[in-house]
Structure 1
């Protein structure tokens, strides 16, 4: 999965709307197409923003807003109040859309896209290349990439795989390369020796599975004898 980029995952045929599209038409479009957002493009094809389900729900909820009290109004920011009013009472896509859109390029790695979604708390990123909308990558796209079978790693010998596993173990403070030995045959990693805890056993299995060329993991370790533990 780590070798994939936005171009590999994105949905290229993205439904878009112009800024003047009525809000009710946008809502109907999302419901009928079964999508959760629609980018807004101007007449020249430039990305202006995006209307999401959250934007439409915010507009609906805004109908319950009550005028601020006289005292509260003294301390309120007029610009923020005006922005809130426009977004909750607007009648076009341009009125309610989110203008700050997180974008990536076609070459952006999938790991970076996942990090952006988690960091920003968003469900999708738009793929833009040379100012033009190329596609969209959603959380669903990332999940499909996660369960996709990994690409074959040609040219990796068992010894190279073993060295890669050992190198990965040395980077982890919880991995024990002194009492745990590694063998590789036909791409299958086998752990021998002793293992401190079940948590470490699970961690090493995942570590090995993420090394390119590994086709399987076998654990033949035994619990660490008490006399081998080093006193803290």
Structure 2
């Protein structure tokens, strides 16, 4: 039987937000002053705090970036009359409120990015990377359950040590070839794959060092592969033109 591709591992084995999240999250009220927020973040060594209303509903989040943007905005030069004619007055008003606001409600980022407790580690990582954020709130029914940070996500990479199963070399080779067919950059026409005693050996030619590194990682992600040897050579110019 061909070993499972890493992309096809059942999602049930992937840690979920409810397992990874930090439950003791320091939250603030929308009326908390900016000065108090700055002291809180600095004193507790945290970079953000969710803003909750009296019912515990998430209104937004105040981050270090929000406070720094407020500080920088205080130095905004007055806008000239001519330029003001071509500027959205609503956007100007909102920026003024954020740069001169005195409470969490004024400076917070509304609509904080959140996930549900069933979100898996890879889904959370995708959200963080796509949105360029360091942490994500875990919310259910609008109520805050916890927070998952980048540090929390690292725990998903440190799973229990397992003894790899013995997989026949022929099945490992087939699994590597299948994985290569899924990747458009892994051109198997000029690169051959051999497997002996669980060691994958690439022979032939590759177009770029990046492709060589990609093939090594691809092979090592196939369950049962013990090691990877790269014996490929740079593709000759004439052969490259024919690709």
Which residue is equivalent to 1:42?
53
Q: Is residue 41–residue 48 contact of structure 1 (8 Å, CA) maintained in 2?
A: yes
Output the CA distance in 2 between the equivalents of 1:140 and 1:84: 32
Change (3 A) 1:79 1:222: closer
With the length of structure 2 as denominator, give the TM-score of the two structures: 0.77
What is the Cα deviation at residue 168 of structure 1?
0.4
Which residue is equivalent to 2:229?
219
> Is 1:74–2:85 an aligned residue pair?
yes
What is the Cα deviation at residue 144 of structure 1?
5.0
> Is 1:176–2:225 an aligned residue pair?
no
1:15-164 to structure 2, matched below 5 A, reads 15-146=26-157, 148-149=158-159, 152=162, 157-158=167-168, 160-164=171-175
With the length of structure 1 as denominator, give the TM-score of the two structures: 0.80
What is the Cα deviation at residue 51 of structure 1?
0.1
Residue segments in structure 1 that go unaligned for 5+ positions in a row: none
Q: Which has the higher contact order (CA 8 A, sep 6+)?
A: 2
1:182-221 to structure 2, matched below 5 A, reads 182-183=194-195, 185=197, 188-191=198-201, 193-196=203-206, 199=209, 200-214=211-225, 216-219=226-229, 221=231
Residue segments in structure 2 that go unaligned for 5+ positions in a row: 1-5, 8-13
Question: What do you get for the CA RMSD once the two structures are aligned?
Answer: 3.1
Output the CA distance in 2 between the equivalents of 1:107 and 1:77: 40
Q: Is residue 166–residue 182 contact of structure 1 (8 Å, CA) maintained in 2?
A: no
What is the Cα deviation at residue 101 of structure 1?
1.3
Change (3 A) 1:194 1:77: closer
Matched positions, count: 226
Output the CA distance in 1 between the equivalents of 2:56 and 2:22: 18
Change (3 A) 1:201 1:38: same
Change (3 A) 1:49 1:192: closer
